[in-house]
Amino acid sequence: MAIMPHSGAPGRLATLRLLAQRFAFVALVLASFMLMLLGKADTLLIERVRLVVQDTAAPVLDVMSRPAAAVAQLFASVREIARIRADNVRLKEENERLLHWQTVARRLDEENRALHGQLNYVPDPATSFITARVVGDTGGAFVDSMLVNAGSRDGVRKGEAVFAGEAMVGRIAEVGLRFARVLLLTDINSHLPVMIEGSHAKAILSGENSDRPRLNYLSPNAVVQPGDRVMTSGDGGAFPPGLPIGVVSSVQDGAPSVEPFVHRYQLEYVAIVNYGLPGIIDGEAGEEGSSQ
C-alpha cells in the first residue's frame, strides 16, 4: 500500500482501492454492532469463541500477573513492617476475643449436633472447594470481574460461590478449560438474595460498579442500621444461607449500602466452593442438562 500510483489508469485504481478501504471500514463498524447484538443474544458460537480466546490468554495472564503480584507483595510487606507493633497488640486482643468465641462455638456445635440427632435433620450436601489465583483483574470502569486460573478441568462449575477468607466475594459466571470468570458482588450485573443478621430481613444485594453494593427490595418495615452484618439468605437455592458478605455502611437516601468484608484489590487467592446445590442461575441448569 505504500507505493501510490501517480497518474492515469493507476490513479483510478488508487481511487478504487480507497473506496474499497472506506467500504471495509464501514463494514467493520457494522460488524461491531453485529457482535454487540450477537453477544446480547448469547449464542453458543460466540460463547465458544470467547472461551477459546480466554483459554489462550489465561496462561499468558498467569505469567504476567506473577511479577505484578511480587511488586504488590513488596509494597505490602513495607507497609506491614511499619505497622508491626500496632498489629501485634491488635492481634493479641483479637486472639483473646476469638478464643472466647471458640469456646462458645464449640458448645453451640455440640448442642447443634445433639439437636440434629433428635430431629432426624437432613444434612446439607457435602461441600468441596478449589483454591485459585487471580490472574486477571479486568473490565476497567464498566465491569467488576476477575479471571482465576482454575477451570472446568479443575472441576469449577458455573454458579459456584467464590470466597476470599470467610467472606463471599462473587460467583463463577463463565468457565473455560483453564480459567473461570468471577462476577464480583459489586458488578452492576450481580444480584444476590441476602438477609440482615439478627432481624433476618430479606433484601437483594445489587452491585453498582462501585465499592459498595446496595440493598434493594428491602421490606419497608425492616430496621437496618450501619454495622449490621449482611449474609446470604439462601433464597433461590443457589447458595446456602448464612454466608457472610459485609456490613451495612450507611442507610441514607433509600437503599442502604453495604461495605463488603473483602475488597476487589485485596483478592489474590480465592476459594471456589461447590455446595452441591442445584441452584437457579441464568438458566444454567438447562444448559447443563442439554450438554450431558
**82 is a site residue for other proteins (CB under 8 A):** no
**172 is a site residue for other proteins (CB under 8 A):** no
Please list, in sequence order, all residues whose beta carbon lies within 8 angstroms of the beta carbon of residue 287, skipping any fewer than 6 positions away: none
Nearest Cα neighbor of 177 from 45, 291, 274, 56 is: 56
Angle between helices 8-41 and 44-82 (to 10 degrees): 80
- Give the span between the Cα atoms of 141 and 61, in whole angstroms: 20
Return the amino acid letter for 119: L
Among 14, 50, 191, 235, binds other proteins (CB under 8 A): 50
**137 is a site residue for other proteins (CB under 8 A):** yes
Return the amino acid letter for 104: V
**1 is a site residue for other proteins (CB under 8 A):** yes
Tell me the closest approach of the beta carbon of residue 44 to other proteins, in angstroms: 14
- E strand or H helix at 129, and its extent? strand 128-138
Among 16, 20, 31, 74, binds other proteins (CB under 8 A): 31
**134 is a site residue for other proteins (CB under 8 A):** yes
Tell me the closest approach of the beta carbon of residue 121 to other proteins, in angstroms: 40
The β-bridge relationship of strands 167-175 and 214-216 is: unpaired
- Give the span between the Cα atoms of 146 and 183, in whole angstroms: 7
Question: Which part of the chain contacts other proteins (CB under 8 A), choosing from 52-60, 151-159, 163-171, 276-284?
Answer: 52-60
Chain residues in the site for other proteins (CB under 8 A): 1-2, 21, 24-25, 28-29, 31-40, 46, 49-50, 53-54, 57, 60-61, 64-65, 68-69, 72, 76, 134-147, 173-174, 181, 188-189, 208-211, 263-268
